[in-house]
Structure 1
Amino acid sequence: MVRERLISLDVFRGLTILLMTVVNNPGDWGNVYPPLLHADWHGCTPTDLVFPFFVFIMGVAVPLAMPEKFYDSTTLNKILIRSLRMLCLGIFFNFFGKIQFFGLDGILLLIGRLLITIAVGYALMGSFSPKVKNILALSILFIYIFLAYSGIEAYQDVRLPGVLQRIAIVYFVVSLLYLKTSQKTQIITGIVLLLGYWALMTLIPVPGIGDANLEKGTNLASWLDSILLKGHMYSGTVTWDPEGILSTIPSIVNGIIGLLIGQILLKDIGKTKKATKMAILGPAFIIAGISWNLIFPINKSLWTSSYVLYTTGLATTFLSILYYVIDIADYKKSFKLFLIWGVNPMIVFFSSQIIPQALVMIQFKNPHNPEQNINLLDYLYSFGIAPFFSDPKAASFAGALVYVGIWTFILWIFYKNKLIFKV
């Protein structure tokens, strides 16, 4: 079977990574429009759609990347390598701001951190033989674990879970399901995982706390994180992590549903029928998610089963629309911007985690208040963007758009030169 790139999926990925860039890089975190923030607990904002959309898109891409099911040791090794590389990239984001060596400080420390970043990025995104890729990924993972649990003060509270880490786990599971099971088994697996997670979270008492509940810090997922990830959770949380262990289970279903949609797109049934199937399934998932929300609230931090169905329903619906407009009606010109973003998401994801941290490390005397220091990120925003706006939220949003504009120019250069960075 000839592998063809699905433009609508690239555009959908581009829309998602662009939205991620906007919500992760406001000019001022104290002034952000509510839709560009995560829901405080129960509920779902546009920002809460970014992560599950990524997982869904990854699931759709699995069968498109492997249209002919062929499972052997070589295929398994490729899947394992890619999963390990994503896992290691994700963990590195959490280590970057903790790196200390030779007592360096300030700009010298930043230069050292950036040199390590380049080395790690090359090791995990460079083109090597499978054997070398394995050795590099496993070695880097071993170093992470050693540092995290070595007792070295700088790394004793480094976070281990994260967005890319969860995507890596889901990718590994979903790829194996695709290669080793039928669609019927995949559907049953998804149902069992969603129902099983609901039962765990709502029926099992929480050790040391009491009855099952869905509150912050006292639910079963939180308890498990506090036991297995103690000291290595999200900054600002004490007993839970939004990408914790138990909540990773239902996130696999976002990938499974994406996998099922991807297999629909592979079928030889005509493009209109494919779009119709997706247009039916999308609203059905949304309705199911909203209905389940009545007893198992939609919640990103807990990644509840209702959240899975609701977000995959929206993702399926959006993809069906894009598929019809782009791949059936052949209307592509207006989507070029998102296509440029969609074919190179990894470099944006990786760099966007590092650049803000690097800019914060560059500090100097505030020229408008010599008694205070200011970092370069705050300086660029406070004196280069904010003065042009009377509304602080509009200024903050403009800061995010400027960052998007810079990345659009960079990605356009990559696109024109056919430079694609992959793990």
Structure 2
Amino acid sequence: MKERILAVDIFRGLTIALMILVNTPGTWAAVYPPLRHAEWHGYTPTDLVFPFFLFIVGTSIVFAYRNKTANSKTYRKIVIRTLKLIGLGLFLGAFTLEFPFFKDFAEIRFPGVLQRIGVVFFFAALLYLHFRKKGLIVITAAILIGYWLWMAYLPLDGAAPSLERVANNWANYIDVNLFGSHTYKPDYDPEGLLSTLPSIATSLLGIFTGLLLVSKRDDKLKVMLLMGVIMLIVGTLWGMVFPINKALWTSSFVLVTAGWANLVLGLIYYLTDMRGIRFGSIFSKVGANAITVYFLSSFIAKLFYLIRVNEDHGVHSWLFDTIYVHDGVPLEFSSLLYGLSVTGFYLFLGWWMYRKGIFIKV
């Protein structure tokens, strides 16, 4: 029988809520610094959100596949889910209101959040099915160290590589030359190809936490918090030579964000699964349809930008300017209120779907 860990469900739903919040401010021109991504090196609370989701993908893999065998049926389910995630991501990037409702091919962005989730899930699930814990540790270490050596020391066009946002950055170089115009920015993509490799390690670190949670150990919380502290320390120290950077998903970034994920998940685990405190139940319900809620929030937000109310406003800006912008109220605060309102709506939607027994598996 599968043991249900409430903290995992709450963490997943909370992460989705934060993803929606940071993606839907009233205006990008006025956002509080903690709700912005770091310009390049370094990290903000917002930079923790996506790695938190990839981390909990790994943790959830343990619960979903610990009693599965590596056979054609299991592989088929993994492949189908991967293709669904990638397909939904490509749809979001390609959709437009102009007939035939898809952008010109040259304008479509190939990488993306859902695409990365799909690829990371695919490899993390297969690795979990085929390797024991020691093997996964070796693979994770090899990914993180190998990525560091590649990015920081492997010559590019005969010259030393850079970790800045420049042409001789390996991640940027590969994305520009492989994807061409199909990237988020002309010179790089935060969900690019090479940086997807260490993001798999993020999910593998989540698998280790999942293995801990399903174990029979009595000191789960202590070990989880200890792992979090160690990852934070090692990641911070590593960041002195391999800067913490979300756009490049550096190895130091992997460790620091996984460290925070363990600490946050450990706190939730202590409050809910150990102390029995009723906390965050709405997030656990949203987590039951996490990808569906995230996809709907992204798709509707895009519609709100595309649908015009008049010559000066789309639905998004009209709602923001009409309801949230007032004299004497800081624009950043109005922008935050808009984001909180949108997030609240999707929390309610996730709760309603759960209550109605609507579970859309992606």
User: Smaller-chain TM-score range?
Assistant: over 0.9
1:407 to 335, 346, 352: 346
1:278 to 219, 224, 231: 224
- Give 1:61 shift: 0.5
| Residues 7-406 of structure 1 mapped to structure 2, 5 A cutoff | 7-97=6-96, 100-101=99-100, 113=101, 154-207=104-157, 210-218=159-167, 219-234=169-184, 237-270=185-218, 273-331=219-277, 333-365=278-310, 372-387=311-326, 390-406=329-345
- Give 1:408 shift: 2.3
- Give 1:162 shift: 0.6
- Give 1:373 shift: 3.0
Q: Distance in 1 between matches of 2:59 and 2:307?
A: 41
Q: Distance in 2 between matches of 1:412 and 1:238?
A: 39
Percent identity between matched residues is: 38
- Assess if the C-alpha contact under 8 Å between 1:42 and 1:298 holds in 2: yes
- Assess if the C-alpha contact under 8 Å between 2:17 and 2:347 holds in 1: no
- Give 1:184 shift: 0.6
Amino acid in structure 2 at the alignment position of 1:324: Y
- Give 1:337 shift: 2.5
- Give 1:389 shift: 5.6
1:10-67 C-alpha deviation (Å, 9 max, x unpaired): 1111111111111100011100000000000000001000110010000000111122
TM-score (norm 1): 0.82
> Residue 166 of structure 1 aligns to a residue in which SS?
helix
Structure 1: 5+ residue stretches without partners = 102-112, 114-146, 148-152, 366-371
> Residue 309 of structure 2 aligns to a residue in which SS?
strand
Q: Distance in 2 between matches of 1:345 and 1:99?
A: 29
Aligned to 1:107: none
- Give 1:69 shift: 4.4
Does the C-alpha gap of structure 1 residues 388 and 420 become closer, same or farther in structure 2, counting only changes over 3 Å?
farther
Q: Distance in 2 between matches of 1:378 and 1:243?
A: 27
Q: Distance in 2 between matches of 1:377 and 1:69?
A: 45
> Residue 9 of structure 1 aligns to a residue in which SS?
helix
Amino acid in structure 1 at the alignment position of 2:309: F
Does the C-alpha gap of structure 1 residues 227 and 406 become closer, same or farther in structure 2, counting only changes over 3 Å?
same
> Residue 50 of structure 2 aligns to a residue in which SS?
helix
Amino acid in structure 2 at the alignment position of 1:299: N
- Give 1:312 shift: 0.3
Q: How well do the aligned residues superpose, as a CA RMSD in angstroms?
A: 1.6
Structure 2: 5+ residue stretches without partners = none
- Assess if the C-alpha contact under 8 Å between 1:20 and 1:50 holds in 2: yes
Amino acid in structure 2 at the alignment position of 1:354: F
- Assess if the C-alpha contact under 8 Å between 1:222 and 1:241 holds in 2: yes
1:167-224 C-alpha deviation (Å, 9 max, x unpaired): 111111111111111111100000001010000011112228x321101032011111
- Give 1:226 shift: 1.2
- Give 1:364 shift: 3.5
- Assess if the C-alpha contact under 8 Å between 2:297 and 2:346 holds in 1: no
Q: Distance in 1 between matches of 2:4 and 2:358?
A: 16
